[in-house]
């Protein structure tokens, strides 16, 4: 054996042995009665004093009751959790700025709450913006004395199906150190809806070819029915994007590097019916302080709307680690997207590319070339999920909060668990 090279699982492990998940064991943070409603949108932050703060949405839709956000804390590394707060600000995301923790909720408006005592107590909600807003608990970053976080806003009302083509990713900028419950401390980037970008989109003849996007025929403004023969209705909405992450490129050798530090890239889940691509935009800060959202270009002058990204067809979470100078990607692994929709087992949710039972980790130096770091957690049943997770760095580890489900879950989409996972010494996975 070469000096300095450690065997993955031991000297006697045969070549081709099954991958061992990095964090298969978990702690149940929350558990729901599947007859009342699922649990959604896990969010987690790690504080400097070692406390972990988690948030998640408790849906009660089957009981026809309003949803609630729950916020819990852990002071023992995630082994036990204490519920601290409930509210009704909608699907939200936690973020830390200075000595404050915030939770920004979305829905018909943007409302925000603040904690100045490490999540023990929370302020009353404050209105940041009106409109029809959507988000998942994706990432946020600090740069230039600001905090940046992305959401989506529905700016059209044209699609009668899942309206992700009507969505415009919007980057929000807040001035660090100010009271971010006050709307005047936020700036909103300009808006671009997916439906406005591609010629022929609304005519069901999008000007895209050569790489199979969209995968299924379009039926704008409605869904395209794929199959209902098994009793499960499988359909696909018009193309779009959602669940936006933000990243800043800091490598001077990168083609998209901005030496002035005024450019931010938005990476969205690409709803195309296929796998392996995210959608891409960039936001450039202007001299007057406004932020302009636009498409990215490659050196040939061609537009780069889609970016290769493993798991880009589902919600993913990107985290930049300054110590390794790498972007870390947590998402879902597709294994069976080419089985015909009419031949999927009933336990599979939605379209063939909509697998949610393998949560995987990658890393990249440039947001384009991704190296597989490992399976974080998985199940053997497609309707028992580990997906839609958020992550944070906690010392040498990654702490992960997953939207999960067991055999009692209503479906792969509507799970009954929020689970906590820890990937120990994650930087040792770099090769």
What is the structure's pLDDT at 129? 98
Query: In angstroms, rounded to a whole number, what is the distance separating the alpha carbons of residues 267 and 103?
Result: 22
Residue 157: count other Cβ atoms within 10 Å of its Cβ.
10
pLDDT > 80? residue 381: yes
- The domain locations on the chain are 97-375
Distance (Å, rounded) from C-alpha 10 to C-alpha 6? 8
CB under 8 Å to 196, separation ≥6 — which residues?
none
Helix (H) or strand (E) holding 22: none
Task: Report whether 106 contacts 90 (CB < 8 A).
Answer: yes
Q: Residue 3 pLDDT more than 50? A: no
Predicted pLDDT of residue 13:
52
| Residue 318 token pair | 């990107």
The per-residue pLDDT for 90 is: 96
Q: Nearest Cα to 327, choosing from 362, 354, 295? A: 362
2: pLDDT strictly greater than 50: no
State the first-to-last Cα distance of the chain, in angstroms, to the nearest integer.
Answer: 17
pTM: 0.95
Mean pLDDT over the full length of the chain: 95
Q: How confident is the model at residue 1 (pLDDT cuts 50, 70, 90)?
A: very low
Measured CA distances, 83 to 97, 120, 121, 373 (Å): 22, 9, 11, 33
Task: Give residues with Cβ within 8 angstroms of 145, minimum separation 6.
Answer: 175, 176, 177
Average pLDDT of 345-366?
97
Determine the CATH number of domain 97-375: 2.115.10
The predicted model gives 405-411 an average pLDDT of 95
Here the tokens at position 70 are 């729950």
pLDDT in tens, 61-119: 999 999 999 999 999 999 999 999 999 999 999 999 999 999 999 998 999 999 999 99
List the beta bridge partners of residue 303. Answer: 297
Residues 212-254: pLDDT tens digits? 999 999 999 999 999 998 889 999 999 999 999 999 999 999 9
Mean pLDDT confidence for 134-156: 98
| Secondary structure class of 343 (helix, strand, coil) | helix
* CA dist., res. 310 & res. 115, Å (int): 35
194: CB partners within 8 A, 6+ apart:
164, 165, 166, 167, 168, 201, 239, 240, 241, 279
Q: Which pLDDT score is estimated for 242?
A: 99
Contact at 8 Å (CB) between 18 and 12?
Answer: no
């Amino acid at each position: 054996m070469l000096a300095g090279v450690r065997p993955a699982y031991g000297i006697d492990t045969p070549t081709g042995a099954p991958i061992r998940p990095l964090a298969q064991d978990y702690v149940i943070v929350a558990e729901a009665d599947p007859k009342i409603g699922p649990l959604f949108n896990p969010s987690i932050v790690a504080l400097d004093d070692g406390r972990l703060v988690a948030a998640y949405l408790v849906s009660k839709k089957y009981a026809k009751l309003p949803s609630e956000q729950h916020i819990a804390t852990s002071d023992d590394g995630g082994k036990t959790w204490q519920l601290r707060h409930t509210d009704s600000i909608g699907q939200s995301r936690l973020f830390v700025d200075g000595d404050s923790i915030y939770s920004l909720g979305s829905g018909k408006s943007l409302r925000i709450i603040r904690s100045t005592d490490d999540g023990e107590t929370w302020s009353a909600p404050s209105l940041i913006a009106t409109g029809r807003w959507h988000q998942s608990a994706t990432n946020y970053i600090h740069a230039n004395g600001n905090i940046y976080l992305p959401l989506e806003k529905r700016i059209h009302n044209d699609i009668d199906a899942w309206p992700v083509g009507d969505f415009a990713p919007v980057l929000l900028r807040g001035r660090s150190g100010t009271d971010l419950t006050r709307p005047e401390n936020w700036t909103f980037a300009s808006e671009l809806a997916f439906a406005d970008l591609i010629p022929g989109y609304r005519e069901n003849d999008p000007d895209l070819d050569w790489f199979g996007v969209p995968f299924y025929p379009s039926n704008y403004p409605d869904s395209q029915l794929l199959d209902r023969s098994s009793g499960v209705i499988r359909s696909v909405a018009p193309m779009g994007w959602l669940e936006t992450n933000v990243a800043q490129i800091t490598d001077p050798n990168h083609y998209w590097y901005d030496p002035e530090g005024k450019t931010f890239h938005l990476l969205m889940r690409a709803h195309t019916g296929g796998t392996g691509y995210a959608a891409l935009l960039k936001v450039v800060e202007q001299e007057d302080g406004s932020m302009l959202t636009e498409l990215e270009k490659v050196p040939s002058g061609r537009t780069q709307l889609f970016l290769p990204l493993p798991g880009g067809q589902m919600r993913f979470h990107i985290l930049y680690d300054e110590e390794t100078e790498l972007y870390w990607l947590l998402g879902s692994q597709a294994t069976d997207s080419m089985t015909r929709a009419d031949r999927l087992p009933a336990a599979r949710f939605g379209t063939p590319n909509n697998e949610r039972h393998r949560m995987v980790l990658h890393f990249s130096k440039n947001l384009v070339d991704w190296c597989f770091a490992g399976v974080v957690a998985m199940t053997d049943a497609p309707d028992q999920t580990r997906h839609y997770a958020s992550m944070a760095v906690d010392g040498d580890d990654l702490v992960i909060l997953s939207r999960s489900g067991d055999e009692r879950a209503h479906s792969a989409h509507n799970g009954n668990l929020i689970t906590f996972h820890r990937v120990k010494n994650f930087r040792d996975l770099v090769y």
